[in-house]
Amino acid sequence: MTTGVRRRMGVEERRQQLIGVALELFSNRSPDDVSIDEIAAAAGISRPLVYHYFPGKLSLYEAALQRAADDLAERFMEPHEGPLGARLLRVTGRFLGFVDEHGPGFSALMRGGPAVGSSSSPTTNALIDSVRQAAYEQILAHLGVTDPPARLDLVVRSWVSLAESTALIWLDGRRIPRAELERQLVHDFAALAAVSAAYDDEMARLLGTVLADEPADGPFADLLARLAALAPRAALPS
Amino acid sequence: MTTGVRRRMGVEERRQQLIGVALELFSNRSPDDVSIDEIAAAAGISRPLVYHYFPGKLSLYEAALQRAADDLAERFMEPHEGPLGARLLRVTGRFLGFVDEHGPGFSALMRGGPAVGSSSSPTTNALIDSVRQAAYEQILAHLGVTDPPARLDLVVRSWVSLAESTALIWLDGRRIPRAELERQLVHDFAALAAVSAAYDDEMARLLGTVLADEPADGPFADLLARLAALAPRAALPS
């Protein structure tokens, strides 16, 4: 038993605790609606003590954002084993889990940033860009490509952006089951790559290599089979 | 001959001239790098006179942005005639023409906004959202849908966002011919719709209706034929 004696936290420990409390609050409501008083109360310390660790709400917000970005970058990590479609599905699932947990804060940030400090500050913009870049690099690494041609670069970057906007649109009402959204995003990647491959030999070869390793019960093969089933309904040139 | 006598411009005419000059400058360089002095010089008037019409750089920037948004919304207008694929191709072409003309300004605005005033101000954010909404409503109108189901809503909104980010990525180096990008974006729309249709009967019916009216030489049929040609290279479940 500690008999009510409160252990004194070290400086770094207190900072980390405050960041955790702030991230929780900034995630679940629009960051503009969260006050320093509230953060102090949730952390069980006084308002002046919060200012002792962070000069203002903006610096605390940026620290919380940094932790969220680190968390997200970690969720992108996936062993280079097994079919690509299944790997992308797992990572996409973890990304949507993150979005689900941090909904209101994620929306506020991505929709031009909350008005905390100077909204989309160079710091928050750089942080968002670093997460996009991490996602981009992970995908290229899984594809085994180090120097992507322009069309692959576009497919990967535009899909990362699509995943972001799809998540944002989904958060506004959550009218589609999350599991369906995960699968759909993976298919969207395959579809964007296929469109690119339809006009470019280099992309066609790359897509062929990827698809050759996909199992018949994987998400990519599943999509192709479903699209093939759709096709007869369309006016295909005979 | 006017023998050098300069006609006095009316207030509104002068405002419109200044907006035009500012839009030209804000479009072709990062807006942060454009000074009021430069705008005054380009308009052939004094710096104090610029301030007479616009209280500061931010208000002039917002007026220029409003004109650009009006221009863009006008480019979205397309007669409800002929196959949908060809209509979307024409509108996408005009959108990319706009992006091409306003490259640096478009990039600065969409990448979290330039630091002019308070970057992504509520005004600029609202303007960007109104353009997205206009694009969304135009597409639904062409599809003849007034009350879109959740999945169609997602496909249309996420494609609008994809068109935006694809344009932004393209502007960074312009490594792909613009005409190819136009066609690819139209195909991306069909691909995202097809992915959605692969898992949802309502979307499948809608896509079927659209494709039934597409000519064999239209962009949608073209894509389907090319994808069908790609398929044998992939490990389709037999």
Shortest CA gap B56–chain A (Å): 19
Predicted local confidence at residue B120, as pLDDT: 58
Distance from CA of B82 to the nearest CA of A (A): 16
CA distance B105 to B119: 13
What are the tens digits of pLDDT across the range A170-186? 999 999 999 999 999 99
Q: How far apart are the C-alpha atoms of B125 and A107, rounded to whole Å?
A: 14
- The ipTM (two decimal places) reads 0.88
CA distances from B70 to B19, B55, B66 (A): 13, 22, 6
Give the rounded distance of the alpha carbon of B188 from its chain centre. Answer: 16
Distance from CA of B58 to the nearest CA of A (A): 15
- Label residue B96 exposed, middle or buried (CB < 10 Å: 0-12, 13-18, 19+): buried
**Which tokens hold the place of B161?**
């966002």
Q: b or e along B170-208 (b: 16 or more beta carbons within 10 Å of the residue's beta carbon)? A: bbeeeebeeeebbbbbbbbbbbbbbbbbbbbeebbebbe
Q: Which of A61-75, B10-24, B104-118 has the lowest mean pLDDT?
A: B104-118
pLDDT confidence tier of residue A75, bands split at 50, 70 and 90: very high
Enumerate residues 30 to 89 of chain A having a beta carbon within 8 A of any beta carbon in chain B.
none
Tokens 């005004």, located at residue: B123
Choose among A180, A188, A199: nearest Cβ to B180: A199
Helix/strand/coil (H/E/C) assignment for every residue in chain B: CCCCCCCCCCHHHHHHHHHHHHHHHHHHCCHHHCCHHHHHHHHCCCHHHHHHHCCCHHHHHHHHHHHHHHHHHHHCCCCCCCCHHHHHHHHHHHHHHHHHHCHHHHHHHHCCCCCCCCCCCHHHHHHHHHHHHHHHHHHHHHHCCCCCCHHHHHHHHHHHHHHHHHHHHHHCCCCCCHHHHHHHHHHHHHHHHHHHHHHCHHHHHHHHHHHHCCCCCCHHHHHHHHHHHHHHHCCCCC
Residue B236 has pLDDT above 50, yes or no: no
The residue of A132, A161, A201, A206 whose CB has the most chain B CBs within 10 angstroms, and thus the best one to mutate to test that interface, is A161
Look up residue A233 and give its two tokens.
Answer: 């309904």
The residue of B32, B107, B158 whose CB has the most chain A CBs within 10 angstroms, and thus the best one to mutate to test that interface, is B158
Burial, B233: exposed, middle or buried (Cβ in 10 Å; 0-12, 13-18, 19+)?
middle
Candidate from A169, A231, A235 with C-beta closest to B157: A169
Which of B111, B132, B165 to mutate against chain A (most A CBs within 10 Å)? B165
Distances (CA, A) of B197 to A229, B6, B61, B203: 11, 63, 42, 5
Count contacts between A and B (CB, < 8 Å). 176
**Is A196 at the interface with chain B, CB within 8 A?**
yes
Per-residue confidence (pLDDT) for residue B234, from 0 to 100: 46
Using 50, 70 and 90 to split pLDDT, how confident is the model at B213?
A: confident
Establish if A162 touches chain B: CB-CB under 8 angstroms.
Answer: yes
Q: Which of B204, B223, B234 sits opposite A198 (nearest CB)?
A: B223
- Nearest-Cα residue of chain A relative to residue B235: A212
Output the CA–CA distances (angstroms, integers) from residue B238 to A15, A219, B235, in the order listed: 58, 15, 8
**pLDDT tens digits, residue range A120-173?**
577 888 889 999 999 999 999 999 999 999 999 999 999 999 999 999 999 999
Task: Check whether B125 has a pLDDT greater than 80.
Answer: yes
With the C-alpha atoms ordered B7, B12, B18, B24, is the resulting torsion angle positive or negative? Answer: negative
Alpha-carbon gap: B125 to the closest alpha carbon of chain A (Å):
7
pLDDT of A234 > 80? The answer is no
Closest listed residue to residue B76, CA positions, set B129, B135, B128: B135
B228 pLDDT higher than 60:
yes
Bigger pLDDT: B234 vs B202: B202
What is the per-residue pLDDT across B139-193, written as a single tens digit (0 to 9) for each? 999 999 999 999 999 999 999 999 999 999 999 999 999 999 999 999 999 999 9
Q: Is the pLDDT of residue A94 over 90?
A: yes
Q: Which domains occur in chain B, in start order?
A: 66-232 (1.10.357.10)
Name the residue among A166, A65, A78 with its Cα closest to residue A120. A65
pLDDT of the residue at B237: 44
Partner-chain residue, chosen from A118, A120, A166, that has the shortest CB–CB distance to B158: A166
Confidence (pLDDT) at A10: 86
For residues B85 and B214, the answer to whether their CB atoms sit within 8 Å is yes
Does A180 reach chain B within 8 Å, measured CB to CB? yes
A31, A108 in Cβ contact below 8 A? yes
Q: How far apart are CA A36 and CA A60, in angstroms?
A: 9
* Interfacial B residues in 115-144 facing A (CB < 8 Å): 118-120, 125, 128
What is the predicted pLDDT for the residue at B115?
58
What is the residue-averaged pLDDT of chain A?
87
Q: Find the CB nearest B204 among A111, A150, A230.
A: A230
